[in-house]
Structure 1
Amino acid sequence: MPFSFHRKSVRPPLVTLSAVLFAAATSACASDEPAARSPNGITTVQVGVVPIVDVAPLYLGQEKGFYSKRGLKLDMVTAQGGAAVIPGVVSGQLEFGFSNVTSLMLAQSNGMAVEGVSSGSASTGEQGADYSAITVKGNSPIKTARNLEGKKVAVNTLKNIGDTSIRESVRKASGDPDKVRFVELPFDQMPAALDDGQIDAAWVSEPALAVVRAQGGRIIASNYVDVAEDLTVALYFTSASHAKENSEVVDKFREATAESHAYANTHPDEVRQVLTTYTEIPRATIERMTLPKWPNGVNRASVETLAELGQRDGLFSTAPDLDQLLP
């Protein structure tokens, strides 16, 4: 049975928005209205997030008052992936969003004006001990990324950070990445699909990684680490119009997020506890999970490497403008 890690809320997830939103996101009619300010001086901002461990510092920072002391209240809106968050931010339905950097570069290359506000999450930098990995079944004959040639490998989104980084793992293992057969599958369905033999390998991030390991699966490569030892995986971002019209709110969000990251890095037990408030991950799984790093700075060199790999793989219609994208 697939495990579930959806937000505990009755609010409709952002991922249900139709393709109309994508068209609106690229139109000249995007909303530039400032975030709503309540009578008590608190500004409520909507933040598009994915219900995964990466965004735990936001929930923890809200609990600790890091945002409220700067006059902000976060209203979390959930989506299945960062790519689904981007149109909501660009169209003005959301003030901020969380997304991996490859999705943001893809959006930018397709004409969406997005700007990074702060770092989101980063790899641990440890091969075999990262929060993201390429995994196989325990008795699989696959031993290294080179053995993925001709095999069916699951990623949560095709032509994104997953297959781009896996292709680099295959290259580093002296294999041919063009021979890998990528298939799209939600993270929460990958452990069961791997165990049943529907796929040969799966790229999983926590908490799916902990589930795979608990059922006897093995890590054959840490694809984020193969891209860069200190890979900036994701960013919090906003639209160019919102950044221009609401610079004070953007600055406050950046400052509060930096404080939240610093606190999360030094209080892992509280990170694990806050996960129980916005996901349905079993407590036993939470305790086994490898946590990402939450830096306050962006490793530009690692993002440049991702951009180069994306261009090599034909992801971008035009080269991303990292000067505009990176905070």
Structure 2
Amino acid sequence: MATRAKALRLVAVLITCVLTASCGLFGGSSDGGAADMERNVIRIGVLPVVDVAPLRIALNEKLFEKNGLQVTLVPQPSEDEAIKQLDSTLDLTWATHVNFFRAVASGTELQLQGEAYQAGPNSMALVASAGSDYDDPGKKSAPTIAVPSKDDVGALTTRAVLDTAAVEKQKINFKTMPYADMEGALTAGTVDAAFMIEPFITKAQRKIGAKIVTDTARGPTLDFPMSGYASSKKFAEANPKTLKVFRDVLREAQQRAQANKLSVQDSLTSYADIDQPTAALVSVGTFPLSLNPIRLQRVADMMDTEDVLSGRLDVQQLLPPGTTN
């Protein structure tokens, strides 16, 4: 009997070991299916903007790690440079939809992996210096406006908003410069206004007393889809399971950011070179939970209308297979 009892205990121990080792088969694993992923390390290009706060939250709360994915965020000098680095130093990158679509139109093969941000009140705006008399979008018939690029979301939405104020698009003089140089240009008076996004708007307000001439997320650009994440098509085709895990974690992070705007503002102090009082004043828009082809097509169609693209771009072709919303 003693031998039989020992044998039964041995069997019980073996069964326990097998169940413990293979718990992933029954949904109890904490690696989120990491064993099925083609790779578990990805590098994502980012800039110091509100849009990427959910990624910071995901890292702080170890959401990627819990799903078996090791993510490194790599600061980039510009969106264009980040897109160029795909398949070399980066696996994915953040950028505005406008810059992604421009890259596609120029022959770059991309696949969108998630939406990052949608504009809210005063999350993007035309900003003037404290002493400027430019206090209404229709006040100047030929304004000089600072933008990061003449073909980016700033120029696109500025043209749309000033058009509604009866300012002729061809009379707008765009002056290109990085966001970091815009405060100096406003103070020097070399531009009438600057297109800014957060947290640059709030930083300029606190540092030089800048004022908002007009919110550029209104009228035709109300709730405008701002930015997202993309990989090269080559990387996407080689790593569909890895990117599915990324999208799942991103959705959870976006959900947390949307539910707790204070966590977004708090996270800015860790990467956007602003203090807590400034971060607390930053306007926060919306963090979409999924890729929506109808919403994204709105951006491409506006680019077509404004001649930023030479023809209509079908955004559905840029989404992962099977993605419909």
TM-score, normalised to structure 2's length? 0.81
Structure 2 residue 86 is matched with structure 1 residue 93: no
**1:178-327 aligned within 5 A:** 178-214=170-206, 215-298=208-291, 300-326=293-319
Runs of 4+ off more than 6 Å: none
Structure 1 window deviating more from structure 2 (110-119 vs 266-275): it is 266-275
Find the counterpart in structure 2 of residue 72 from structure 1.
69
Give the alignment partner of residue 174 of structure 1, picking from 166, 170, 174.
166
One-letter amino acid of the counterpart of residue 104, structure 2? Q
Paired position in structure 1 for 2:59: 62
Q: % of aligned pairs identical? A: 21
1:119 matched to which residue of 2? 115
CA distance in 2, matches of 1:279, 1:170: 29
Query: Partner of 2:78 in structure 1?
Result: 81
1:103-133 CA-to-partner distances (Å, cap 9, x unmatched) read: 0110111111111111111111xxxx32110
* C-alpha contact 2:148 2:154 (8 A) present in aligned 1: yes
Q: Give the AA of the match of 2:174.
A: F
Cα separation, 2, equivalents of 1:282 and 1:168 = 33
Note if contact 1:228-1:302 (Cα within 8 Å) is conserved in structure 2.
Answer: no
Q: Which residue of 2 aligns with 1:4?
A: none
**Deviations along 1:40-95, whole A, 9 cap, x unmatched?**
x9811000111222101101101112111111111111113322211112x34321
Which structure has the bigger radius of gyration? 2
1:9-57 deviations in Å (ceiling 9; x for gaps):
xxxxxxxxxxxxxxxxxxxxxxxxxxxx99xx98110001112221011
Q: Structure 1: which 5+ residue stretches go unaligned?
A: 1-36
Find the aligned partners of 1:171 and 1:304 in 2 and give their Cα distance.
21
Give distance in 2, aligned partners of 1:196 and 1:115.
Answer: 42
Unaligned runs of at least 5 residues, structure 2: 1-33
Please name the residue that 2:9 is paired with.
none
- Secondary structure of 1:55's counterpart equals helix
Amino acid at match of 1:99: A
**After superposition, where does 1:111-150 map in structure 2 within 5 Å?**
111-124=107-120, 129-150=121-142
Question: How far did 1:151 drift?
Answer: 1.8
Q: 2 CA distance for matches of 1:219 and 1:298?
A: 31
In structure 2, the partner of 1:31 is none
User: Contact 1:156–1:162 (CA<8 Å) still a contact in 2?
Assistant: yes
Structure-2 separation of matches of 1:147 and 1:104 = 33
Instruction: Measure the CA separation in 2 of the matches of 1:226 and 1:285.
Output: 28
Deviations 1:181-240 (A, max 9, x none): 000111122123212212111111112101232233221222233433222111111111
- Judge which range, 193-202 or 279-288, deviates more: 279-288
Q: Cα RMSD between the aligned structures?
A: 2.2
CA distance in 1, matches of 2:292, 2:164: 21
How many residue pairs were aligned?
Answer: 284
Distance 1:311 1:116 in 2: 19
The AA in structure 2 aligned to 1:236 is Y
SS in 1 for 2:135: coil
TM-superposed CA distance for 1:300, in Å, is: 4.1
Mapped to 2, the partners of 1:325 and 1:144 lie a distance apart of 38
Q: Distance in 1 between matches of 2:185 and 2:217?
A: 22
Return the offset for 1:274.
Answer: 2.2
